[in-house]
Amino acid sequence: MLGPVILAASRSDRMRRFVSAAPGTKQVVNRFIAGETVDQVVAVVEDAAAKGLEVTLDVVGEDITTPEQAAAARDAYLELIEHLKGLGLGPKAEMSVKLSMFGQALDGGHELALANVRPVVEAAAEIGTTVTLDAEDHTTLDSMFAIHDELRKDFPQTGCVIQSYLFRTERDAIRLAANGSRVRLVKGAYNEPDTVAFQNKAEIDKAYVRVLRILMEGSGYPMVGSHDPRLISIGQELARRAGRKLDEYEFQMLYGIRSEEHVRLAAEGHRMRVYTAYGTDWYGYFMRRLAEKPANLLFFLRSTITK
């Protein structure tokens, strides 16, 4: 019940001001956000690499309102890629982007987002890595998939995300699995109506398994984005049955969540990629993490009250 309320609050400017100013916020935010600056995140990437982990890096921010902000988002990723150059990690450090941060919701937003994301994909390719397009709310997805198709003409490694809570996702998975895409499958983190999405956890989990089977049996590269222990072992089993080797799929989890599991899966020989978010505009990302687990909200309230 709390999840939808928190997700609604994630769109409120008044709540944004309240949460940002609350004492104790910083302490909880730091659990999920790997720093505010490029230097801080680069240190986290080096630490992850030393533990045998790979990363996908997200400069936090979304729902920008001007083309200048969209250009600034592009430049923030270009600056990040410039810093990654020296590390020589290649595909072990890739980028995740939200197209809303690149201007997708503005006038002429589809073309603007494509124009802003293309130089990021090009710069990533120059250092031997790639970009994955995150999935946002369902109204943005046709545009996201069209941009994904367009980018793949020149950069076939460009990835995208699909969400098992959406009714449309099995169809999307069939298309993407047939065309050899890199695809991250997640449950979905937005407040979606029952006209487009399953509302019940059991149905979302069952859909996750159906879609994962499609991806594992297809010709693409599946990225299993979940912390759910049951789905992770089902993922291993589906990969085995599909005859996939350990480097023909990967697991992905979020920075700050089940960190011991990241290391355990990597030690077992799995490719394990940690979605590592950083930057100053952390509000939307942070609120989705609170919505996923009510205990996080209690922790947040406790640290705010006891400050």
Give the residue numbers of the binding site for FAD: 163, 187-189, 201, 226-227
Torsion angles phi and psi, residue 23, rounded to 5: -65, 140
What are the binding residues? 98, 163, 187-189, 201, 226-227, 288-289
227 binds ligand FAD (CB under 6 A): yes
Torsion of the alpha carbons at 211, 217, 218 and 223, rounded to the nearest 10:
60
Residue whose pair of structure tokens reads 């997805």 in the numeric block: 141
CB of 86 to ligand FAD, least distance (A): 25
33 binds ligand FAD (CB under 6 A): no
Nearest alpha-carbon partner for 183 in 221, 149, 156: 221
Of residues 281 and 292, the one with the C-beta less far from ligand FAD: 292
Element (H, E) at 185: strand 182-186
**What amino acid occupies position 84?**
L
Distance CA 60, CA 87 (A): 22
CB of 45 to ligand FAD, least distance (A): 15
170 binds ligand FAD (CB under 6 A): no
Within 10 A of 279 (CB to CB), how many other CB atoms are there?
A: 22
- Is 134 annotated in the active site? yes
Q: Are 185 and 130 a contacting pair, CB within 8 Å?
A: no
292 binds ligand FAD (CB under 6 A): yes
Among 28, 73, 112, 161, binds ligand FAD (CB under 6 A): 161
Q: Which two tokens stand for residue 300?
A: 């947040």
CB of 202 to ligand FAD, least distance (A): 11
- Is 184 annotated in the active site? yes
Which residue of the set 184, 213, 271, 273 is catalytic? 184
Of residues 84 and 253, the one with the C-beta less far from ligand FAD: 253
255 binds ligand FAD (CB under 6 A): no
Selected range binding ligand FAD among 39-47, 138-146, 220-228, 234-242, rule: CB under 6 A: 220-228
228 binds ligand FAD (CB under 6 A): yes
Distance CA 141, CA 161 (A): 10
Residue whose pair of structure tokens reads 């100053």 in the numeric block: 280
Selected range binding ligand FAD among 83-91, 101-109, 139-147, 251-259, rule: CB under 6 A: 251-259
Mark 193-212 with x for binding to ligand FAD (rule: CB under 6 A) and - for no binding: --------------------
Distance CA 125, CA 127 (A): 5
- Which three-class secondary structure state does DSSP give residue 290? helix
Enumerate the β-bridge partners of residue 161. 184
What residues line the site for ligand FAD (CB under 6 A)? 134-135, 161, 163, 184, 186-190, 225-228, 252-254, 257-258, 275, 289, 292-293, 296
Which residue numbers are catalytic? 134, 184
